[in-house]
Amino acid sequence: MKKRILSFLMAICLCTALLGAFTSCGDDGKYNVGILQLAPHLALDAATDGFKQALIDELGEENVTFDYQNAQGDSSVCGTIAAAIVAKNPDLIMANATAALQAVANSTMTIPILGTSITDYASALDLENYNGTVGGNISGTSDLAPLDEQAAMFDELLPDATNIGILFCSAEPNSYYQAEVIKDALEGAGKTVEFYTFSDSNDIDSVVAAACAASDALYIPTDNTAADNAAAIYAAMGNNKKPLIAGESGICTGCGIATLSIDYYDLGYATGLMAAKILKGEKNISEMPIEFAPVPTKKYNATICGELGIPAPAGYTVLPGTEVAE
């Protein structure tokens, strides 16, 4: 009889623990939000800042606590960090960049997850029949810029460039997705296109040197490894520097001449507004479609354009930090 009572009490304890694990900590108006960011670079930092500010604006700074973790560019540790965040049972998790989203998605099917700085959710999560809504416990924002308009920048800014090299990290599925789209657009415009991929920062020098030797101009999509090593990419060009069009502002600041880029702070802020609706019970994450950033803008790197003898393009604004003193 005692064994049956003990078993019954243990079952009650287990059910209570499980119920606690699935009950929001926000019932008292206080919220715990986990953040996993893949790497520390301009774009991802801005997205995280925008996300946090939106939640502070919507919920009040005193009502939201952030558990911010950064994988320092090492995607192999994202799984361990994601598991640690999930173990704390936050009310919501923001995953900043593809590897972070993949890790968090593999760690929980119950805690709401919002991705940001994700180019294509179908590629990132290996989704079939994707229609713009992930479903389940995942939604978020996409940093996808108009790739056809980025491809058109080559004819606009570099009309004599016929051989285009596309640089990206082979470990990032979203980069491959963008590279394929840009390749099709450039080949449709009569260009010859080759891919030059690096697996990590260790082989950037040799890959960049090969790309410069064979190309008239280069392109880099929104790629976290490239963003983390943008200045190194420009240095690796050495005395054979080639004009490079970048998928986002942070990469362009380090090694590009121009970009058609979204504002990552605004992207993160939009993600934070989504989070606030989920936390306040106004929206069901499973029904929330992926949202996109406001209209991207054309920007140019005045410093690198000056070094390469490229005139300031009409209709482009100067990237902050690249202004040339008169």
Q: Has residue 236 been placed in a domain?
A: yes
Q: Has residue 24 been placed in a domain?
A: no
CB 316 within 8 A of CB 153: no
Q: How many CA atoms lie within 13 A of 83 on its CB side?
A: 4
Residue 132 and residue 51 in one domain: yes
* Alpha helices for 189-299 (secondary structure H): 204-214, 224-228, 230-236, 249-255, 264-279
Residue 188 and residue 301 in one domain: yes
Which structural domain, as residue segments, surrounds residue 224?
A: 147-261+297-318
Which pLDDT value is given to residue 13?
Answer: 39
Q: Has residue 324 been placed in a domain?
A: no
Residue 39 and residue 101 in one domain: yes
**Residue found by looking up tokens 């963008």 in the block:** 178
Residue 136 and residue 198 in one domain: no
Which pLDDT value is given to residue 324?
Answer: 72
Per the structure, how many domains does the chain have? Answer: 2
- pLDDT, block means (10 residues), the chain with 326 residues: 38 36 58 97 94 98 98 94 98 97 98 96 93 97 93 96 97 92 97 96 95 98 93 96 96 96 94 98 98 90 96 94 74
Residue 270 and residue 305 in one domain: no
Q: Has residue 268 been placed in a domain?
A: yes
Residue 52 and residue 188 in one domain: no
Residue 309 and residue 192 in one domain: yes
Q: What is the CATH number of the domain that holds 249?
A: 3.40.50.2300
Q: How far apart are CA 276 and CA 31, in angstroms?
A: 10
Residue 302 and residue 176 in one domain: yes
Kindly list the strands in the beta sheet with 163-169, ordered across the sheet, starting from the edge strand earlier in the chain. 192-198, 163-169, 217-220, 244-246, 258-261, 297-300, 317-318
Residue 234: count other Cβ atoms within 10 Å of its Cβ.
20
Which pLDDT value is given to residue 295?
Answer: 80
Q: What is the CA radius of gyration of the chain?
A: 22
Which pLDDT value is given to residue 294?
Answer: 75
Question: CB neighbours of 44 closer than 8 A, spacing ≥ 6?
Answer: 37, 38, 96, 97, 117, 224, 227, 264
Which pLDDT value is given to residue 14?
Answer: 34
CB 234 within 8 A of CB 257: no
